[in-house]
Amino acid sequence: MEYILIIGTFEALFLLLLLLGKKNKSLPDYFLAAIFVLYAISIGGVYLELQNFSHNFTYSAIISTSWVFLFLHGPALWFYIRSLSDHEFRFKPLYLLHFVPFIFFSVFHYFNFINLTVPEKIRFLENDLFKESVSYKITVMLIGVSTISYNIWALNLIRRRRDRLMQHYSKIEDIDLGWLSALTIATLISYSVNVTLFNLDMIFHFATYNFLIILTNGFASVYILFLGYFGIRQGNIFINQSKEIQKSGVKSALTEASSPVKNTDDAFIKTLTRDMEEKQPYLDPDITISRLSEMLNVKVEFLSEVLNARLNQNFFDFINRYRVGEFKEQCVLKANSHLSIMGIAYNCGFNSKASFYRAFRKFEGMSPREYIGKVS
């Protein structure tokens, strides 16, 4: 099974070279490169560990050294997602705190293991005796806590970014990092399984250390393959935004008590509804809250608060609700009988099948085809 580790190591190195050869690299690309380097060290280090066991510890200088780098996997993912989510992201001294666990356990490992003589190391590792040590058990648990925590943190960053996008845009498929969210969830599940297996093994001793680390790094090899494929293909997700949007500080949720539009006259809402019905700005696939606010001659913040506090919806849902309504009108017209469902949907402002079907089912509780069959 050791060939899995060889494949994983060369996979990470190949993706690293592929990424470094990419033109017009951005800051997220460099963080992604760091992730590939860390996985190459971790997986390659495990392979050399196993070679040590099977070849009388030929590589004695690197006995049990690669595992401390696992404390950098979570921070690297966090930096990658933060840089993807915020085009103004810059490294701050405060971020050095992310490296404290790595530094602490590197020093701890040095005095508790690296500093030992080679015979002492071998005696400690043979027959999995090290699994009985308190330091091993604490380390396994903390690596699990660190990795799982960072993956949950990463999911929260992605969710917050999506919520923020839905306040500004009517289409977000190309910039919402859905692929990274799905991959992070899958990684979270696999790490949770791995951590559970390691902890159960400390109690029941049902597997060898070699089997467990090969299993864990097998998951890692699959993870970096998908991360590399989508990450390298990921284009610039920072589509043009006006300074007004970047600095507006529009909130994802507004309480009625704190909203300045609580006592706003209904006249603006009537104007908004009239312009939406007459001018049909939702037919523009690229409509943003900035463009709509300019059309209405109001500030972005004000329009966003009206949508959230008075109409109880974000900009994304507000626009797509009108598009769904337009589709319902257009799909029953004989003049459109020659058009496919998606042909009509594109004319109504949608720009992808996935976003159209998702919005239609959300607002109507059925698929477009089911609706057409119902009204025909």
- Each residue's pLDDT tens digit, 319-347: 999 999 999 999 999 999 999 999 999 99
Long-range pairs for 23-29 at CB < 8 Å and ≥24 separation?
26/83, 26/236, 27/83, 27/89, 28/80, 28/83, 28/84, 28/231, 28/234
Q: Are 300 and 293 in contact (CB under 8 A)?
A: yes
pTM summary value: 0.76
Question: Strand, helix or coil at 65?
Answer: coil
Contact 97, 146 (CB under 8 A): no
Provide the pLDDT for residue 340: 95
State the DSSP code for 172: -
Query: What pLDDT sits at residue 335?
Result: 94
Task: Report pLDDT digits (tens) over 133-189.
Answer: 777 778 888 888 998 999 999 999 888 888 888 888 888 776 667 888 888 888 888
CA–CA dist 244, 247 (Å, integer): 5
Alpha helices in the chain (DSSP H): 3-20, 27-54, 70-85, 100-109, 118-125, 134-166, 178-204, 209-233, 243-248, 267-279, 289-296, 300-305, 315-330, 341-347, 353-364, 368-375
pLDDT at 256: 41
346: tokens are: 């594109």
Give dist(CA 169, CA 157) in Å, integer.
18
C-alpha separations of 29 from 85, 86, 118, 239, 300 in Å: 13, 14, 40, 17, 32
Q: Which residue has the tokens 């690296």?
A: 114
pLDDT at 368: 95
Residues of the chain under the 70 pLDDT cut: 1, 53-64, 125-131, 174-176, 209, 235-265
For position 60, what pLDDT does the model report? 61
Predicted confidence at residue 88, as pLDDT, reads: 80
pLDDT at 38: 94
CA nearest 333: which of 348, 321, 312?
348
What rounded mean pLDDT belongs to the chain?
Answer: 83
Per-residue pLDDT, 156: 92
- The torsion of the CA quartet 126, 128, 132, 134, rounded to 10 degrees, works out to 80
Domains of the chain: 3-233 (1.20.1070.10), 243-375 (1.10.10.60)
How high is the pLDDT of residue 252? 42
Neighbours of 201 (CB within 10 A): 18
